[in-house]
Structure 1
Amino acid sequence: MKLSGTILGAGFCITANLLRQYFLIPAKRGGILLFALAVLLVLSGAAMSGGEGKYIRRADVAFDLNNFMLALELYNKALEINPKNVKANYKAGYCYMELHEPKKAKVYFKRAFDITPTFSDYLITFYLAQAYHQDYEFEEARKYYQQEMAKTPRTDKPYLQFLQKRIDECAAGAMLINKPSVAEVINLGRGVNTSFSDHIPVFLPGDSAMLYTTRYRHGDKNGLLSDEEKLKYAYLSKDGWQQTAHSLGSFKTKQEHGLVNIGPQGHKLYTFHTTKGLHVSQLEQGVWGEPQQLEYPFDEGQLNVSVFITPDGKYAFFSSNRNGGFGGLDLYITARQEDGSWGDALNLGPNVNTAFDDDAPFVDPATNTLYFSSLGHNTMGGFDIFSSRLENGEWSKAYNLGYPINSTHDDLYFVLNRSRTSAFFSSNRAGGFGGKDIYQVLFSVK
């Protein structure tokens, strides 16, 4: 199989980590945002002396512990007493964004923006733009992103590039959302999805059984939340997809491993460990063995996140941030050698990889089509799902699968069923049960 081996230097690029540093919890960010919170405290100082102060102080504790549901409840209690408290409006809006409710978030951000123009010109403009963006109001979002750009020092090039990318995403979203839809997207419902994050669907042979991961959030007596991932099993019944209590053998105790994929015959389970990378477990006599770390070439770079093995077992596609890529996570291919080992990794090139994260590969060998998720290309916001076909030894330019498969949120881990009439993926788009949910794509039959 001929493949393009062109690997361009990444140069100066904005990776996903750089993007995210501008949208983290304010209390945990750098000096600019800490200063902004100080401004908020000063602005609301007089109000804090009133009855709403006790609620805001308690809300701030929950907020700093990432307990956004509790924080939101307390900020709203404060706003019942004083609807014009800038800090409570701002942080309530932020909580709604974390809870994937941009429609509600923009109401609170706009209220804070209107109450205190001097503050809104400093920080709230970005969050207001973000809320409009995620609620598909692309023109309004673009307006506020441009306002943010106008007041940003020209020397802050990374942030200006970041804002320009958001403006580009709005332009892409406005175009994509107006294209005729070729599919219907439905939530798999409460039989699979929970109030936590349910994601990374992979299918056992036959397409009637599915493995996926649920990331639980647990709170201790002090309100501190921690995450725990568990592998789940669901089957297709006459009533739709339903979770079962099916045992995953000894592997169910390996909570530090997140599901990545399953081998073509259903006998190998691929997982990701946050500090040790990609692993594989072998199914023997109905029990999953201990996860073994994948070796060369899956162990190069600081981060190797996902892997897909073709049905014939000859090729593996995987994501990695190893040196020599275009930036962030790139997608690579490696071929199985005669002795069973894997050969050198080959970057899939500039038509697939970008200066941002490119991840979650799935390959349809019947059509030589790669499906993957990316923060780059013409995404409409967050990760979008793209396709690229292998033609004459080259990967074609990435094609955005469009709305409603893609949204202004993160859309990841796209997989086709064997008849190619349906697909599944996970998304944290608004309207779900909480966190990421698993969705099904029903393609239009013409």
Structure 2
Amino acid sequence: MKLNYLYTAIFIIASINAGAQNAKLKKADRDYENYAYIDAIKTYERVAEKGYKDVGMFKKLGNAYYFNAELNKAEKWYRELFAMKQEVEPEYYYRYAQSLKSVSKYEEANKMLDLFNSKSGNDSRAALYERNKNYLEVIEENSGRFATENAGINSKESDYGTSFYGNQLVFASSRVVKGTGRRIQKWNNQAFTSLYAAAVDGDGNLQEPEKFSSDIDSRFNESTPVFTNDGNTMYFTRNNYNDGRKQKDSKRSTLLKLYRATLKDGAFGNVVELPFNSNEYSNAHPALSVDEKTLYFASDRPGTLGQSDIYKVAINADGTFGEPVNLGNAINTEGKETFPFISNDNELYFSSDGHPGLGGLDVFVSKMEDGGFGRVMNVGKPINGPMDDFGFLIDTKTQVGFFSSNREGGLGYDDIYKFRELRKITCEQLLEGVVTDAGTGMILADARVTLFDDKMEMVAQTYSGPKGEYAFNQLDCKKVYYVRAEKIEYNTTEEMVVMGKESGKTVLQIELERSVTPVKVGDDLAEVFKIKIIYFDLDKWNIRPDAAFDLAKIVEVMKENPMMKVDVRSHTDSRQTHRYNETLSDRRAKSTIAWMIGQGIQAERLSGKGYGETQLINKCKDGVECTEEEHQLNRRSEFIILSL
């Protein structure tokens, strides 16, 4: 009864105050559209707590938390949205799935992803999920490769986006230094970020951070720097703020741009905006290639596949830039790809909420090869978790690095974590073997060996060496490949091989059969065609269909060689009586000859008989215990060339 009274009271209050509620909602809508998400959240929640239910409000309330990277709180309001059982845009199924992951409700999240897949049409995130429904198992396999800990330099505000500069770690922070004032930004009610630096040793231990450069610091956000190896040039992210003036897009929003600063007299200055920026879209989070000839960054510029994509742009020798190029759908999705980093091993690390992950932004890696990118892999736990994980940075010499996260247990809104990589994620196999003649075992050099993937697309090609050897490097563990070998005067062969589960070596020996086999009097045609037994049913001697297939090979050879005469010999093992075996084998030999005559071979070219158990080729005589395999060696058919 108390529940009924409560609902009635809420309904009456809501009816009386409908005008006031609508006014509050309009204010919240204005705050939402202006990216003042904290203020919008407060207003929407006060309205919702009074029992007011509205699809649009729940969307915006969920979005306000979702866009503010508080997915665990977004889950509550998206749940309320879906409880209303009204049709919503497919994107909300994806956002709800991501929010469910943030509270470790993966089974429910996968159900939402199934619905998203059915409703979203050609969305690449749906296709990725459909192709990788075992993504949690894969992530688990990739997990446990890092030892992580709090970096020890975090504040109660946001700290994120690290970069190495000599023996310093430079990062962005919204901390407020005592005795100084900082302007507050509406969207998260935190101070605008500045760059800080902390001395770092080879083990990643950090000293107390200090302001990095007052010359770089503006009234708005500075973040995510990257430095050239000589330390003379810095690229970084800043709000659209030039020459003391803040600029806005057509919607009156101040976006992000990339800038370059140069070192002079021990300080960074001469800040210039990069030429491919625009007031109408954001460019952010720069990263440099190993040779420093390419700048990578995140952007929502025209041509972007999703909310933000990763791009690259050439840095010319004279300091000018080429045209930005989207990295394409191998990396980018309809979701958010951001915070690129290029390791000295030419690996692209980036964060994404579009590739299958554990919730929010996850860190992924892709090996850069031949101008493109290899398979995208989730780096696993503990780097990734249910919340946002981003800003991955590693020194490949020491295997020590840093990343940023808003995970639970941190000191502030975003925190910086230190890690040590214990083993590489890339599991690579070496495939090798030797090419030989199937009949003689002779080494075959100069055989062409081609490697195909599981879609039969060519991966690589080589030729066998002087010792018949071949090899393919850097193949993916557990992956299916096909190996095709070809050589003049030999039949082409193709074999499937599955790579091992761990980094190491897989051996595939290749035997090629001659397409033209020289024969002489006394040779056994059964050996040429690898015919071990002409099969008959138990106690029968009529030719079975599978036996006819093998006999047809002999017939065709004799037709191609009209002077050839053949003696057909049938043998049994020692089981059954001597007389029984001799009689049965003789009937089978004669049945074989009759079948070959029926196929057009003249009777005078054929002879033969059954030898029963009189010509055993091993120890398996009467009274001697043998295995089935040993007995089978004696059950054989021979087609001996008598003349040519």
Structure-1-length-normalised TM-score: 0.65
* Secondary structure of the corresponding residue to residue 252 of structure 1: coil
Q: Does 1:292 align with 2:257?
A: no
Measure the CA separation in 2 of the matches of 1:330 and 1:240: 31
How far has the Cα of 1:395 moved from its partner? 2.5
Higher relative contact order (CA 8 A, sep 6+): 1
2:356 match: 378
How far has the Cα of 1:228 moved from its partner? 1.7
Contact 2:310/2:340, CA 8 A, preserved across alignment: no
Amino acid at match of 1:67: I
* Secondary structure of the corresponding residue to residue 354 of structure 2: coil
1:47–1:260 Cα change, 3 Å: farther
Pick aligned residue for 2:342 from 360, 363, 374:
363
Measure the CA separation in 1 of the matches of 2:45 and 2:294: 53
Contact 2:170/2:225, CA 8 A, preserved across alignment: no
Per-residue CA deviations over 1:252-288 (Å, capped at 9, x if unaligned) read 2453543432232333222223437211112222332
Pick aligned residue for 1:194 from 124, 144, 156:
156
Measure the CA separation in 2 of the matches of 1:355 and 1:390: 22
- Note the 1:79-98 alignment, pairs <5 A: none
Question: Which residues of structure 2 form unaligned runs of 5+?
Answer: 1-6, 177-181, 241-255, 425-644
Amino acid at match of 2:261: S
Measure the CA separation in 2 of the matches of 1:383 and 1:123: 23
Measure the CA separation in 1 of the matches of 2:314 and 2:37: 40
* Secondary structure of the corresponding residue to residue 42 of structure 2: helix
Per-residue CA deviations over 1:293-335 (Å, capped at 9, x if unaligned) read 123x677994432322345544433344556665542322425
1:325–1:60 Cα change, 3 Å: closer
Measure the CA separation in 1 of the matches of 2:188 and 2:162: 29
1:233 match: 197
How far has the Cα of 1:424 moved from its partner? 1.4
- Note the 1:137-148 alignment, pairs <5 A: 137-144=105-112
Contact 1:186/1:441, CA 8 A, preserved across alignment: yes
Q: After the TM superposition, which of the residue ranges 339-348 and 242-251 deviates more from structure 2?
A: 339-348
Contact 2:28/2:44, CA 8 A, preserved across alignment: no
1:406 match: 384
- Note the 1:1-40 alignment, pairs <5 A: none
How far has the Cα of 1:55 moved from its partner? 12
Measure the CA separation in 2 of the matches of 1:345 and 1:409: 30
* Secondary structure of the corresponding residue to residue 174 of structure 1: helix
* Secondary structure of the corresponding residue to residue 241 of structure 1: coil
1:304 match: 283
1:258 match: 223
Percent identical among aligned pairs is: 23
How far has the Cα of 1:417 moved from its partner? 2.0
How far has the Cα of 1:108 moved from its partner? 7.3
Contact 1:204/1:211, CA 8 A, preserved across alignment: no
2:250 match: none
1:69–1:201 Cα change, 3 Å: farther
- Note the 1:153-168 alignment, pairs <5 A: 161=123, 164=126
Pick aligned residue for 1:133 from 90, 101, 118:
101
1:281 match: 261
Pick aligned residue for 1:211 from 160, 171, 186:
171
Higher helix share: 1
Question: Which residues of structure 1 form unaligned runs of 5+?
Answer: 1-40
- The structure number with the bigger radius of gyration is 2
* Secondary structure of the corresponding residue to residue 100 of structure 2: helix
Measure the CA separation in 2 of the matches of 1:43 and 1:56: 19
Per-residue CA deviations over 1:41-89 (Å, capped at 9, x if unaligned) read 99954354799x999998997895533699399859x96xx8x7768x9
Q: After the TM superposition, which of the residue ranges 63-72 and 371-380 deviates more from structure 2?
A: 63-72
- Note the 1:343-358 alignment, pairs <5 A: 343=322, 345=324, 347-358=326-337
How far has the Cα of 1:139 moved from its partner? 0.7
Pick aligned residue for 1:331 from 296, 311, 314:
311
2:406 match: 428
Measure the CA separation in 1 of the matches of 2:230 and 2:61: 48
Contact 2:333/2:355, CA 8 A, preserved across alignment: yes
2:234 match: 269
Per-residue CA deviations over 1:415-439 (Å, capped at 9, x if unaligned) read 1125241221222334433432222
